Amino acid sequence: MQIQAVGLSHHYRGAEASALLELSHTFEEGTLTVVSGPSGSGKSTLLYLLALMLTPSLGSIRWGDQDVQALEDTERSELRAKHVGFVFQDAVLDLSSSALDNVTEAGWLAGMTRVESETKASELLEKFGIGAKARFRPGEVSGGQAQRIALCRALVKSPSIIFADEPTGNLDSDSADVVWRALEDAATEEGATVIVATHDKQRTKRMPNQLRLVS
Ligand SMILES: Nc1ncnc2c1ncn2[C@@H]1O[C@H](COP(=O)(O)OP(=O)(O)OP(=O)(O)O)[C@@H](O)[C@H]1O
Ligand SMILES: [Mg+2]
């Protein structure tokens, strides 16, 4: 699904300056776009806005041919659960349930059956090298492993839109390669619109779709 930002600005309540100013950009289906820029330039803010988790101060957002801001909150939440996989800058996981249950839950919230979702969840945990941690809780694994659980949670529903905020920040080089490849495959093989905020210049400098924010 194509995502379009038109004249997006965001000003957090009480903040002195705008976190994002008049940004317009079209993110095409089947592509991965790298969002870069210095710390504080608004990368996370942009992802939250596009994912409908924040409402912009000005401007509009379209998903496909739909003006998604015009929708009621409940409709926005439903759309998000169904279509969006979001990997947060700090892994956001349910600390009281296992890695496998954390990932499985996102699948059935998106409408998959329990069995479908659990099967896919196990496959993903294996793929990202944390199959052995399936029964562990997020508090019982390392930061990089928690990050990979969060990635599995985002990917389990085969979302048409994927946002990832510094998904490889806590990973060693080999694990980061696996994650980048999975995100690129989601775009090129599954047709997802993938938007990744990152400071990882080394790995992303040759990627064709770049959006650089300035502070
Ligand atoms: N909840 C908030 N309330 C007020 N100001 C905020 C809030 N979140 C972010 N900001 C401010 O908005 C600006 C953009 O922040 P944002 O988190 O989007 O930057 P970023 O590019 O993701 O940075 P980083 O690379 O450090 O993750 C910063 O000046 C930040 O201090
Ligand atoms: Mg950020």
Spatial separation of the C-alpha atoms in residues 130 and 134, rounded to whole Å: 7
Which atom of ligand 1 is least distant from the CA of 42?
Answer: 18
pLDDT of residue 112: 95
Portion of the chain with pLDDT greater than 90, in percent: 89
pLDDT bucket at 175, cuts 50 / 70 / 90: confident
For the segment 79-90, the average pLDDT, to the nearest whole number, is 90
pLDDT single digits (tens) 45-70: 999 999 999 999 999 999 999 999 88
pLDDT single digits (tens) 105-129: 999 999 999 999 999 999 999 999 9
* Amino acid identity, position 73: D
For the segment 28-32, the average pLDDT, to the nearest whole number, is 98
Q: Is residue 19 lining ligand 1, measured as CB closer than 6 Å?
A: yes
Domain that holds residue 123: 3-212
| pTM reported for the whole predicted model | 0.94
72 CA to centre of ligand 2 in angstroms: 27
pLDDT higher than 90, residue 28: yes
pLDDT of residue 88: 87
Query: How many C-beta neighbours within 10 Å does residue 36 have?
Result: 18
Nearest protein Cα to ligand 1, atom 24: 39
The three-state secondary structure class of 12 is coil
Which of these, 146, 170, 163, lies nearest to 45 by C-alpha position? 163
165 CA to centre of ligand 2 in angstroms: 7
Please give the tally of structural domains in the chain.
1
What order of strands is seen across the sheet that includes strand 32-36?
Answer: 84-87, 161-165, 193-197, 32-36, 209-212
Q: Under a CB-based contact definition with an 8 Å cutoff, are residues 5 and 54 in contact?
A: no
pLDDT higher than 90, residue 139: yes
* Amino acid identity, position 174: D
**At 16, which CATH number?**
3.40.50.300
- 84 phi and psi angles, rounded to 5 deg: -110, 135
92 CA to centre of ligand 2 in angstroms: 14
Question: What would the two tokens of residue 39 be?
Answer: 């710390």
Q: Under a CB-based contact definition with an 8 Å cutoff, are residues 51 and 81 in contact?
A: no
